[in-house]
Structure formats: C-alpha cells, structure tokens
Structure 1
Amino acid sequence: MTPASTARDAAAPSEAAVPLRTTRSFRAYRAGEAVTLAGTSVHGVALPVVAVLELDASPGQVPLLAAAATAPAFVLALPAGVAGDRYPKKRIMVGTDLAAAAVVSVVPGCWAAGLLSVPVLYAVTLLSGALTVLHQAASIAIVPEIVDRSQARPANARIAGAFSRADTAGTYGGTLVVGLVGAVRALWLDAASYVVSAWCASRIRPSAVRREAADRPRMLAAIREGVGYVMRDPIQRPLVLSLAGHAYADGIVTTHFAYTLLTRLDSGSTGLGLVMGVTAAGGLAGAVVATRLVDRHGPARVLSAGFLAYTVCGVPLLVARPGPVWLGVIALAGAVRTAAAVAAGTTQRSIRQQLCPPELQSRAQQTSVWLVTGLRPAAALTAGGIAASFSVHSALLVGTALCLVPASLLWSSPLRRLTVMPALPLAKDGPHAS
C-alpha cells in the first residue's frame, strides 16, 4: 500500500454501522476498561503507602518496587501480542481480569494473616504487571472487532475520554479511600474493579478473524512477523518510531518533573497534587476534540501538531519561578499538553487499527508498546546522567528539546501525505462471528 493510495482510500461509512451509544459490546467494553483503570489508579495511590508506611520499605526497596511494575511490559509485550492474535481476545480479557483480582487480593489477605512483607509486594506487582500486559494486548486490539471500521476514530476518542475521567476519579478517590479506611483495605476496591471488568468483558460480542492451528507460526516466527510488518509499512514505521522517540524524550522530563516542583519551585505536596490533577483532566478535552480535528485538518497535521504542542507546553517548567502564579501556568500547560497527547494518541491508534489486518492487530500494537516501554528506563538513566554531570535543569532542557524530534520524523516521512484516515484491509479468510 503506497502513501498515495492510503490517502485516497478513506474509510467510507458502512451501511451496517450502528451508533456507538446503542452498541452493547462497545458500551460494555468501555465501562469495564474504565472501571478497572479507576481501580488501578486506587492501586497506584495505595501500594506506595503500604510499602513505605505499613512495611517501612527502605529507599532502595522503593525503586525496585517501581521496576517490578514496569519490567513485565518490556519482557512480555511481544509474546503478549502473539497471544492476542492467536487466541480469542475476549477470553484473554476475562481470564486476566479474574486472575488479577486474585493476585491483588493477596495483599490484604496476607496483611490480615500477619504475613505481608515487601517481597510479597514485589511478587504481586510483577504478576499484576504481567497480567496487565497480556490484558492490554487483547483489549486494545479488540476495538476493531466490536465497532464498525468507519467508527474507529469516535470509538477511540470516547474510550480515551472515559479513561481520562476514570484515571482522575481513581486518583482522587483513591486518596480519599486510603485516608478513610487505610491503604491495605483500599486494595479490595482494586480487586473488585477487576471482577466488574471481567463481567463487562463477558458481555462483549466481537467478530474475529483467527488463523487455523495448522497455519500458526511458532512464537519467535510470529513475533518476527508482527515486528517486520510494522517496520516495513511506510506509514506505521515512522508512526511507531516517533512514538518511541517521544517516550524517550518525555521520560527524561518526567524523571525530574515532581522533583523540580517540590524543590526548585517549592510547590509542596498540595501544589504537586493540584498540578497533577489539572494535567490529568486535560486528557478529556483531547478526547473530545480529536475526531473533529482529524476531520478538519487530517491525521498527519493532528499528529505533528500534537507533538509540537507537547514541546511548547514543556517550556513553562524551564522558566518558572516559585509562586502560585507559576504553578497555575504549569498546571494549565500540563492540561494542554495532555490534551495534545490524547488527541495524537487516539489518532495514531485509529490509523494503526485501520491499516493493520485483523490477524496482526495485537502484534502491531505490542510492537509499539515494546519499543516505548524499552526506552523509558533508558530515558531515566539519561536524565540521571545529565543531572549528575550538569544539572537537573539541563536534563529538563534536553528532554524538552528532544520532544521536537518525533514531529520532525513524522513530517519527513510519507505520513505527511495522509490527509484522510486510511481504510481497514479485509482479512485473508474473511471475517466471521466468534
């Protein structure tokens, strides 16, 4: 598929398209994923409190706990993509949700029995992270199977909006619940959210295309097939590489973001919480405007503008001085930055879903996840090295400047000619109901 033909092959609305608000599978999917994301946000608030205040975790143990949460994504992203393409996605979603509910319940269960320890938290975090990787490989790639292809962009925008609301509500709600009932008991809410998500996933009725068993390549061959497909495609290759570059640049900045607010800008915990809350809320705005922007300006311009806006909105952190006015400016810039990221993110996801054959959806998605996840630890090390050799401000400056690279990469690639959304290719064997 050439870029020119991609630009011509706009996805025409299907006669069989059903409004999203009346699509039971889509409503069940969005509700279940939003509920479990809210529970995960509660988990993100409660688990550090359990580690530090309940178990007196040392400064050396806390980073290990954070590493345990991110390591599974890099190790398992590509195999999870193979599993998502090879087995029914709905079954994976239900199974991983129920397993995650059981894993999270170990923490309050061990606490009640007097057996809770930091190594138990390591194990729970590793297992939860692995289940999340497998779940997301199926849950992201299942969207084209539950909505008409002409509705991919509004569907992804609505999903992003629901996720932004759930993330914000879970963070603030988790803080409140931890204060009322304690951090350990709050984790029961996270476990319950997985059960609700499993029930919602069980109500999804996807149509799927799956290879017969005799046609399935071995794991490594299947991984190579997925990675090779993405890297050979003239549209998806620069898209994935730009996302990876953005993750690396953003990782340099976020490594010292909270540190800068708390030290150089004297924000205090309240100011930090305010900035983070307003920043997260910007995601809802990005989800609302994403579809309109793509319709008016085209996906290439929305993606490039999103990356550029992200860079511009990082400048206030570089020049800010202590005081509430600057905290407000940083919070507002953070909201715009998140809105730009969500608008660009929903657009790139829709492009990938509409270009990718159904039998490669999960592997194409997980190739991106693997590259992005793999570069984040490198970004943190880079930020630390620059700060140690020069200063924290130098690290922020380098990270902000590098955010320009993804926009340049996109605009120098064939993707810049993508003025309309591409069409979803048909599967080799034709779709059939699962």
Structure 2
Amino acid sequence: MSSDSSTAVRRSLLRDRSFRSFFLADTVSQLGDRVSELAFPLIAVLVLHATPAQVSVLTALVWLPNLASVFVGAWIDRQPHKKRLLVVADLLRAALLLTVPVAFALDGITLVQLYVVALLTGAAAVLFNTTYPSFFILLVDRADYLDANSKLSASRSASFVAGPALGGVLVQALSAPVALLADAVSFLWSALLIARVKITRTPTPGPAEEEGATPATLWQDARSGLSYVLHDRVLRGILGCATTVNYFTFASGALVVLFASRGLDLSAGMIGLGLGIGAVGALLGAIAAPVLSGRFGVGRTAIVGGVMFPASIAILALASGPSWSRIGLLVVSEFFSGLGVMLYDVNLNSVMATVIPDHLRSRVSGAFSAVNYGIRPLGALTGGLLATLVGLRPTLWFAAVGGSLCVLWLRGSGIPGARTLDDLVPAASPAPGLARG
C-alpha cells in the first residue's frame, strides 16, 4: 500500500461505521468510568468514613480478578463470538453498579457491599479487556493501529477532562452513591453501540486450526500465552516496564482522592475540577503521540512517557500552602501524569498489536494482564500500608521515584532504538517448544 493510500485510510477511520460505533461506545463508557473513579472512593471516605487501608483494599479488589486473566484469555481465544463477550461484560458491570445507589436509597449501603461490587465489576472488566485485543484486530487494519489507538486514547483522555468535573458536580448535588448511576447508564449505552458493530475481517488461523493439528487443553493454551510473552524480548521488556510502573503508581493511585480530600482539604467539587483541568495533558498526549513518535521515534517517545507518568506524582507530594497553590499543583501533577501515560500507552499498545500473532492475542493479553494488572492490588495494598505507617506524602514520593525506574526494563528489548513499528519484527509463530493452539 502506498503512503498516499495509507494516509487516506487513516483520515477516513472515523467514517467507518463499525469503528465509529465502537469509538462512541468507548467514549461513553470511559466518561462514566471517570465519574465512578471519583465517586467510588468518596463513598468509602465520606459516607462510610473508611481508613486509608480500607480505601486501598477497595482499589485492590477491583484489580484482583486479573490474576485469573491468563486462563480467561486462553478460554476467549477459543470463542468465535468476541463481540458478544464485550456486550455481556458491559451489561454485567451496569447491573452491579446499579446495586449501590439502590442500597443507598434503602439506607443499607456497607463497605462489604462496595468490596463485593468492586471485585465483581473487576471480573467483568477482565472479560472485556482480555477480549478486546482479539476484537481490535478484527476491527482495525494493521496500517491504522497507531491512528486507531491514538483516537481511542484521545477519547479516554477527554473523559479525564470532563469526567472528574462531572463526577464532582454529581457527588455534591446528588451524593456519591447516586453519581454511580452515570457509569451504570454508560455501560448500557456501550453495550448497545458495540452490538451494532459489524465485523468483516477474519483473524489469521493459528497452528491448531491447521489440518491434522492436535487440539491443546485450556491449561496448555494458558501456558503458551505466558511462555510466549517470556520468550519474546519485546513483550518481555514491555511486561517488566508496565508491571513496575503499575505497582508504584497504584501505591499512590489508591490514595490520591484521599490525600486531596484530607491532606489538602479540598472539596469533592474542587478535586473533580482539578483532576479535570489537569487531564487536558492526557488529551494532548493522545493527540500528539503519533506526531511525536513520527518525529522522534516510537521507542524514544514511549520512554519519555514512561518516566514522565510516575515522576509527576512528586509534584502532588509538594502541594501545600494556600488553596490556589494546592489545587494548582494537583492540576500540574495530573497534567504531566496524563501527558506521560498517553505517550507511553499509545506507542506501546501499538507495538503489542504489531508483534502478537492473531491466534495468540487473547491468551497473550490474558497472561500479560495476570502479571501487569495482577500487581496492582499489591501496589494498592502497599500504598495503604505505607500511608498508615509513614503518612501520605512519603508514600507519594515512594511511588514517584520507584515508578520512574520502570523504563530500565526496556533495555535490550529493541524498543528504545525503534523509530517505527516496522523496526520491530512481527512474531510469526510461537517460540519452539511452546504449546500451540
């Protein structure tokens, strides 16, 4: 395909009805998620008077189901109807979130209920997120991976601008539990929009689909996904980098709202406004990522983002003084955090989409998530323990310094020197001796 035709395809991506439907579904769902991310911990803090350790447990439970994603991914690779799984996951999350405002209206909301909802919505998220990589390559041509990831990341970034401000208003006007209705409705809309997507592409068949191949067991499929990640230098480097940054940023992430509320004495509305304004950085990062990677290279852009994302937590740790200073440093911290994470995510997500074979996508994603997302509960619990022992500010410094070291994992992966995705040789088949299926 010529460069001119490639440009034409990229420019017309949102004109594709199926991609547009999924883009809108993701946009609506992400906006609702931003409301929940503010409302959920505020329910624990303001309504149930939770301690830092209890807030950390709440965050940990959301991510705990990812430990099983290595098996979920192996199972998903065997399922022919990927779109149906995405719809089911959205409907499950909508139903679970609706139980919180209902319980609040009946004066029966408890921390135990929040824990259960957090755990089960996390399980539904594992189903959705592990299915997504296999669905993505049926929806988007390889030539459009960077463009599609940029657009989806821009949508996510925009939700960080509007979502926290909307969440702050809803929490103050309606209460935190009732604000969760917005996220429940967003999942219903997402399910309806995804159901409209029409898939015409077919994945590249894997070895187990070839005539005469011996079917593998679910355990063998799960093991092959994890083995593939560990044997591939590109994926191994990304996994180490992502796992490190997730551990440290979640040590602080579970405490940001708590720190802003109690440590900085900011209201729910001010917290939402500060997070929303700061999230402009993420929007700019998502839009600029393809341009910057084109000029400076995919690898260098990802590395800059990988350092900037966690290092910005140190800015929040410095917050003190008058209210304008406290809210200002919250905004600046969120701005550079969002900018960094988008430069990191857009490029490395596109790298992963390039190097993973079609028939291994969900099981590799599942294995990746089991480690990368599975570390998040440990990070959250570490943050809660440190905050209890040494305080909130030292915990933020711990996260900023430790997280910034994540990019050391990329040495030897081939990513730092990669200018384009074509510089990273696509994996054609599993490494010798791995289970096939």
TM-score normalised by length of structure 1: 0.82
Distance 1:215 1:402, change over 3 A: same
Q: 2:197 aligns with which of 204, 224, 229?
A: 204
- 1:26 matched to 2:12: no
Shift of 1:106: 3.5
Distance 1:264 1:412, change over 3 A: farther
CA distance in 1, matches of 2:197, 2:225: 26
Distance 1:369 1:280, change over 3 A: farther
Q: Is the 8 A contact 1:107 1:184 kept in 2?
A: yes
SS in 1 for 2:416: helix
Query: Which residue in 1 is equivalent to 2:61?
Result: 68
- 1:137 matched to 2:130: yes
Instruction: Name the Cα RMSD after superposition.
Output: 3.5
Q: Is the 8 A contact 2:225 2:363 kept in 1?
A: yes
Query: Which residue in 1 is equivalent to 2:186?
Result: 193
Query: Which residue in 1 is equivalent to 2:365?
Result: 365
Query: Which residue in 1 is equivalent to 2:145?
Result: 152
- 1:177 matched to 2:170: yes
CA distance in 2, matches of 1:265, 1:121: 25
- 1:283 matched to 2:319: no
CA distance in 2, matches of 1:390, 1:99: 39
Shift of 1:225: 0.7
CA distance in 2, matches of 1:184, 1:321: 30
Shift of 1:255: 4.9
Query: Which residue in 2 is equivalent to 1:7?
Result: none
CA distance in 2, matches of 1:257, 1:184: 19
CA distance in 2, matches of 1:335, 1:201: 31
Q: Is the 8 A contact 1:359 1:427 kept in 2?
A: no
Q: Is the 8 A contact 1:249 1:402 kept in 2?
A: yes
Distance 1:44 1:414, change over 3 A: closer
SS in 1 for 2:120: helix
Shift of 1:140: 4.1
1:191-225 CA distance string (max 9 Å, x none):
33222111211122232326678865222211111
CA distance in 2, matches of 1:182, 1:319: 30
Query: Which residue in 2 is equivalent to 1:234?
Result: 233
Query: Which residue in 2 is equivalent to 1:43?
Result: 36
Query: Which residue in 1 is equivalent to 2:245?
Result: 246
Shift of 1:284: 0.6
1:9-50 CA distance string (max 9 Å, x none):
x99976994720211111111111221222233334444565
Q: Is the 8 A contact 1:46 1:186 kept in 2?
A: yes
Query: Which residue in 1 is equivalent to 2:69?
Result: 77
Q: How does 1:328-367 map to 2 (within 5 A)?
A: 328-367=328-367
Q: Is the 8 A contact 2:225 2:367 kept in 1?
A: yes
Shift of 1:112: 6.3
CA distance in 1, matches of 2:44, 2:392: 27
SS in 1 for 2:226: helix
CA distance in 1, matches of 2:179, 2:388: 38
SS in 2 for 1:223: helix
Query: Which residue in 2 is equivalent to 1:410?
Result: 410
1:83-107 CA distance string (max 9 Å, x none):
3322122111122222333333344
Distance 1:106 1:272, change over 3 A: closer
Query: Which residue in 2 is equivalent to 1:164?
Result: 157
Distance 1:224 1:258, change over 3 A: same
Distance 1:77 1:159, change over 3 A: same
Q: Is the 8 A contact 1:11 1:424 kept in 2?
A: no
Greater mean alpha carbon deviation, residues 292-301 or residues 411-420: 411-420
Greater mean alpha carbon deviation, residues 214-223 or residues 21-30: 214-223
Q: Is the 8 A contact 1:208 1:358 kept in 2?
A: no
Distance 1:281 1:83, change over 3 A: farther
1:140-173 CA distance string (max 9 Å, x none):
4422211111110010010011112234433332
Gaps of 5+ in 1: 1-9, 429-434
Distance 1:197 1:345, change over 3 A: same
Shift of 1:186: 4.1
Shift of 1:358: 0.9
Shift of 1:370: 2.1
Q: How does 1:246-325 map to 2 (within 5 A)?
A: 246-258=245-257, 261=260, 271-310=270-309, 312-323=311-322, 324-325=324-325
Shift of 1:114: 7.2
Amino acid at match of 1:278: I
CA distance in 2, matches of 1:327, 1:112: 32
Query: Which residue in 1 is equivalent to 2:434?
Result: none
Distance 1:194 1:262, change over 3 A: closer
Amino acid at match of 1:155: A
Shift of 1:77: 2.0
Greater mean alpha carbon deviation, residues 327-336 or residues 198-207: 327-336
SS in 2 for 1:415: coil
1:247-306 CA distance string (max 9 Å, x none):
122233435545555566555655544432233232111100010111111111011111
The number of residues matched between the two structures is: 417
CA distance in 2, matches of 1:146, 1:276: 32
Shift of 1:238: 0.5
CA distance in 1, matches of 2:313, 2:176: 33
SS in 2 for 1:416: coil
Distance 1:102 1:331, change over 3 A: closer
Q: How does 1:108-123 map to 2 (within 5 A)?
A: 108-109=101-102, 118-123=111-116
SS in 1 for 2:321: coil
Amino acid at match of 2:407: A
Tell me the percent identity: 25
CA distance in 1, matches of 2:102, 2:258: 34
Amino acid at match of 1:240: L
Query: Which residue in 1 is equivalent to 2:219?
Result: 220
Distance 1:403 1:98, change over 3 A: closer
Q: Is the 8 A contact 1:11 1:150 kept in 2?
A: no
Query: Which residue in 1 is equivalent to 2:78?
Result: 86
Shift of 1:241: 0.7
